[in-house]
Every structure is written in C-alpha cells, then in structure tokens.
Amino acid sequence: MSRFFTKTLAQLEPYTPGEQLKIPDLIKINANENPYPPAPGVAQAVAGCVDGLRLYSDLTEAKLVAAIAKHCGVAPENVVCGNGSDENLLLALRAFCDQTHPLAFADITYSFYPVLCDLLHIPQHILPVEQDFTIDLTKYYGLSGETIVIANPNAPTSLLQPVAAIEEVVRRNPDSVVIVDEAYIDFAGAGATCIPLTQKYDNVMVVQTFSKSHNLAGARLGFAVADPALIADMNRIKFSYSPYNINSLSEAAGAAAMADEAYFGKTTAAILATRTSTTARLRSLGFTVLPSATNFVFASTDRMPAKEIFLKLRSRGILIRYFSAPQRIDNWLRITIGTDGQMDALVAALKEILA
C-alpha cells in the first residue's frame, strides 16, 4: 500500500477469486466456469465486429439487450447490462443503498457483497443461515429502509429457495429493493427464476450472468431485469461513471450466445447429468453432498480435513475451492462440475488420497 492510498479504504479487504493457475494439464474446477466452449456462432459474431473496433461500442447495447429480453420474456426497457454481474451488483448498491439504507444478506453467501459494502461505505445487516445452511427467509420480513440481496441458488452452499418464498420477502418489504442474484439459476430447473416477479412488483431486481450457463466467463457480461424505473436508476449511475461498460466484442458474443437456445439447453443438460453422477460418486466415497441447484457441489467428509484434501488435489494438478472462513464451512469443499473426464480424474485422485 502506498502512502497516497486513501485512508478511508485502508482497511478494505478485496474479493478473493478462485486461483487462476496457468500450468499444463491443469484440471480447473474451482471457479464455477463452464467446461464447454461458447456457442458455435459466437466466434463468427465476434470476428464480424473487428472492423468496427475503431468506433465506440453501442451505448444502449441494443442487440444484446434485445437478445436478453427475448430469452427472459420481458421488454428491453426491463434490462440493463453490466461488465459481469458484479458490475450490476455495484450499480444496484450504489443506486439503492447509502449510510441510511443498509444491505441485508446472509452470513454464508457470495463474498463480494461485503466487499462492495466496504468499498461504497454501506452498512451491513448480516443474517445467519441455519445450521443446515438453509436460509430462513422469515428473517428477511419487515426490513424497512434496507436493501436486501438473496443469492438464489446460494453460493457456496448450492441450495435453492422456491420462488414463492422469495415473493413473500418482496411482498413484505414494499419499500425495499430486493435483489435476487441468480448467477446459477439455469442449473436449478424449470420455474426456478424470479424474473416473473419483476413484472408483478416494482421493488424486485433479478441479476444474472453469462459466465456460467452461457459459457462466457471471459467476456465479462451480466445483466439485471427489473421494473423500468429501477433500470433507469441503474443507467443513471452507469452513465455517470462508465457509459461504455460493454465492449463491442463482448456485446456480439453475448447476443450470439443468448440467441442459441439449442446449444444452451444441450450444454446445461450435460452439466446436470454430470452433476448427478458426481454427487453419487462422492457420496459413495463417504462425502456429505448438499442437494445442488448449481453447476457445482458443496461437499464435506470426516475422513480427512477439507484443507488437506484441497492441497493434495492441488499437488496433483486438480484445483477445487477451499474456504478457510467463515469457520462454519472450513471443512467443506466447493467443486465445479466439469466434463465427465475431469470428474473421472477427480474421483480417481480422491480415492488415492483417502486411501
């Protein structure tokens, strides 16, 4: 830290992403990336934008917004795009939180929420999850004057809340914005998304990403769906600091990926099938595996400490995710669902390690 760094942020603890090692034959199942390549039309769409790179990207992101709106069954005015869903979260917190409007969220959830709060000087209202890692949403009733964010399915626990339960939170907090972070929702099955609630209530926002089910983690694309008035608030913030937040290549890639519904369905189904078989194999090795609605599993065993398993797998070129904090999950491992071949290698390594 230099002597010029602002003192108001001296205690800031940045978000810690999964390791991004660049070594040969690495099995990287630690960052919840999609194991399959982008949709076939993405490369052609990106190549077609090269000549236009001398010009600024489209401020309105019209083609991308139209593709998202069609996929989600909403109007374009219900959509705002971000440089990854993290930027949408930042825009939302900047728009709907301040010193007098805290952010309420679970104690075991996406660790970017407290980082954003510290960065933006937003008070935090942290609500503990239950002993079994489920979220008791009745604790979120009547949080007047607070903005609420619920990761659904939750990360790293992989657990899903029904839409009706989240709707009750929205209904019981009419003067609060409820943000539903649905980064993994496409792995949760039909009818799991809260996007229909955005057409019924003016205080709910759904945030999704292209990084998981649309195979574009490297393109850095996300979007939010909400009432047009909330979207206008988000755009007011966006145009105040980063009006060209989506570059032309990413916009083209996102529109092409979103339009290819057949490929989206094919790769998502493949991950779900591998998740089912991987869960069964881990349980046969003595792991407790929570019922996952995501593209990863959350697993624990008393046969060996989680950190030791993590390190032994790492030494074999297999990266998974280990969390030392909070203490309640320090004996759990988050394992991204990769290809069948990657899961075969993982299980074979675990058999050796646990033997």
Three-state SS at 106 = strand
CA atoms of 267 and 72, how far apart (whole Å): 18
CA atoms of 119 and 109, how far apart (whole Å): 18
β-sheet with 288-289: strand ranges across: 288-289, 296-300, 333-336, 321-322
The one-letter amino acid code at 5 reads F
Phi and psi at residue 43, to the nearest 5°: -60, -45
**Residue 13: band (very low, low, confident or very high) from pLDDT cuts 50, 70, 90:** confident
User: pTM score, two decimals?
Assistant: 0.96
Would you state the pLDDT for residue 17? 77
β-sheet with 79-82: strand ranges across: 79-82, 222-226, 204-209, 178-181, 147-151, 103-106, 124-127
Residue 69 has pLDDT above 90, yes or no: yes
**Residue 265: band (very low, low, confident or very high) from pLDDT cuts 50, 70, 90:** very high
Q: Among 12-26, 206-220, 312-326, which stretch is predicted with the lowest mean pLDDT?
A: 12-26
What is the average pLDDT across 289-300? Answer: 98
For the stretch 19-33, pLDDT in tens is: 777 777 899 999 999
CA atoms of 295 and 277, how far apart (whole Å): 13
CA atoms of 106 and 86, how far apart (whole Å): 17
Phi and psi at residue 175, to the nearest 5°: -105, 15
* % residues pLDDT > 90 (the chain): 92
CA atoms of 31 and 16, how far apart (whole Å): 11
Report all structural domains of the chain as residue ranges with CATH numbers, in order of start: 18-37+262-354 (3.90.1150.10), 41-259 (3.40.640.10)
Would you state the pLDDT for residue 154? 98
Token pair in block for residue 27: 């099995």
Residue 16 has pLDDT above 80, yes or no: no
In three state form, how does the secondary structure of 186-239 look? HHCCCCCCCHHHHHCCCCEEEEEECCCCCCCHHHCCEEEEECHHHHHHHHHHHH
Residue 351 has pLDDT above 80, yes or no: yes
